[in-house]
Structure 1
Amino acid sequence: MKTQKFKTNINCGNCLAKVTPMLNAEPKIKSWNVDLESDDRILTVESEDITPEEVFKTVIKAGFIAKPE
């Protein structure tokens, strides 16, 4: 399992509610978490084979940005 971290603009619970269906629907993502306490709002993704570009595209569908750390 590979862990990737991304800086995001997911700022609150409502933002998290918007992005959750997109991340949960991505079959390559085994688990994920957003640290809303971090200044950089770090998204951590656990996956065997998803690329940073695929994570970016998944998050942007919900209207947010995810840049590799």
Structure 2
Amino acid sequence: MTSIKNFTTNINCGSCVRSVTPFLDDVEGVTIWRVDVEDERKVLSVEGTASADAIIKMVEDAGFDISPL
């Protein structure tokens, strides 16, 4: 079932978004994602069927911190 999962991250600029893009694009079940770099929490919102664990692993593999909201 498709859902939206939100996480706090340290993805804080356009360059960071570009760095994490290939990792998040490779997560099976991710339909769409975005990072609100204007929010102090740097909220990553992910829509799709991917598990939170899979999303967290890929963001960490990209070198960023991530925690579920």
Are the equivalent residues in 1 in contact too, given 2:4–2:45 (CA < 8 A)? Answer: yes
Query: What is the number of equivalent residue pairs in this alignment?
Result: 68
Scaled by the length of structure 1, what TM-score is found? Answer: 0.91
User: Identity of counterpart residues, as a percentage?
Assistant: 37
Deviating 4+ runs (over 3 angstroms): none
Q: Which runs of 5+ in 2 are unaligned?
A: none
**Residue pairs, 1:15-30, within 5 angstroms:** 15-30=16-31
Shift of 1:38: 0.4
Shift of 1:52: 1.5
Are the equivalent residues in 2 in contact too, given 1:55–1:66 (CA < 8 A)? Answer: no
Partner of 1:47: 48
Q: Does 1:66 align with 2:66?
A: yes
- CA distance in 1: counterparts of 2:55 and 2:27, whole angstroms: 9
- CA distance in 1: counterparts of 2:67 and 2:44, whole angstroms: 9
- CA distance in 1: counterparts of 2:46 and 2:17, whole angstroms: 14
Are the equivalent residues in 1 in contact too, given 2:23–2:59 (CA < 8 A)? Answer: yes
For the aligned residues, what is the CA RMSD? Answer: 0.9
Match of 1:11, SS state, is coil
